[in-house]
Amino acid sequence: MGEQIQLTSAFDGFVLGAYHAKPQEPRRGGLLLVQEIFGVNADIRRMADGFAADGYEVIAPQLFDRIERDIDLRPGPESRDRAITCMKATPSDQVLGDLRAALAALKAPVFVVGYCFGGSMAWLAATRIEGLSAAACFYGRLIIDHMDEQPLCPTQLHFGKTDHSIPLEEAERVAEAHPELQTFFYDAGHGFHREGNAADADAAKLGKLRTLQLFHKTAGKAEMGG
């Protein structure tokens, strides 16, 4: 189980909440876990606890706190409109300022992983924030709009082949624009890494494995000064 902490955003000095999960030993590094559009909810907290069990000190900033404190929505049609409203009211520069505050609270090496809205923000973090060791970006639709940007750290992209919010041909365009990156396609839809999606359990397991392999590899290079 994690704990609640506070961060002071590098964007505007706003004090936001965050979920902080401490790692098992040995510590492998720090991790910024960027939420879906549903807030830092039970799914995100479980993901954070899972990465902590893998040896990472995880901070998941509550990126919608300026709108309403501690937003915790259950994924589904009944909460989707509220979630989309929150996302649209949260500019990317503000998110990056919040993530910079989380980065400053962690010891190197620090990685970033994000899902859905968070996948897009993880991509922008990889291309705009110095000091990250690696990034894993899951089904972020806005990656398409920013595919001309170049990551500053080793980066993975993860897309579902049947994701209705990100047409496969658009995701393939991103892969073609960045042949130097690891881009993976799964027989799954949007949100396949979210707990409870039993039909996509194999894709979620493989995506997590590939993410950890990237983090382990880049952490080793950092230790060797590479």
Tokens 């965050």 label which residue? 18
Expressed as residue numbers, the domain containing 145 is 3-223
pLDDT in tens, the chain (226 residues): 799 999 999 999 999 999 999 998 889 999 999 999 999 999 999 999 999 999 999 999 999 999 999 999 999 889 999 999 999 999 999 999 999 999 999 999 999 999 999 999 999 999 999 999 999 999 999 999 999 999 999 999 999 999 999 999 999 999 999 999 999 999 999 999 886 666 688 999 999 999 999 999 998 765 444 4
Report which of 198, 159, 201, 162 is spatially closest to residue 178, judged by C-alpha positions: 159
Bridge partners, 136 (sequence order): 113, 156
Q: Which of the 8 DSSP states describes residue 139?
A: S
CA gap 164, 95 in Å, rounded = 25
Rounded to the nearest 10 degrees, the angle between the axes of helix 92-104 and helix 117-128 is 70
Report which of 123, 142, 134, 6 is spatially closest to residue 62, judged by C-alpha positions: 6
CA gap 167, 156 in Å, rounded = 18
pLDDT attached to residue 200: 86
Strand 15-21 to 3-8 pairing: antiparallel
Q: How many CB atoms lie within 10 A of CB 218?
A: 20
CA gap 3, 77 in Å, rounded = 29
Number of domains in the chain: 1
Tokens 């899902």 label which residue? 115
3-state class percentages of the chain: helix first, strand second, coil last, to nearest 5: 40, 20, 40
Q: Which of the 8 DSSP states describes residue 108?
A: S
Tell if the pTM clears 0.85, that is, is over it: yes
pLDDT attached to residue 226: 44
Residue 131 and residue 108 in contact, taking contact as beta carbons nearer than 8 Å: yes
Instruction: Give the domain CATH number at 127.
Output: 3.40.50.1820
- CA atoms within a 13 Å half-sphere pointing along the CA-CB vector of 122: 32
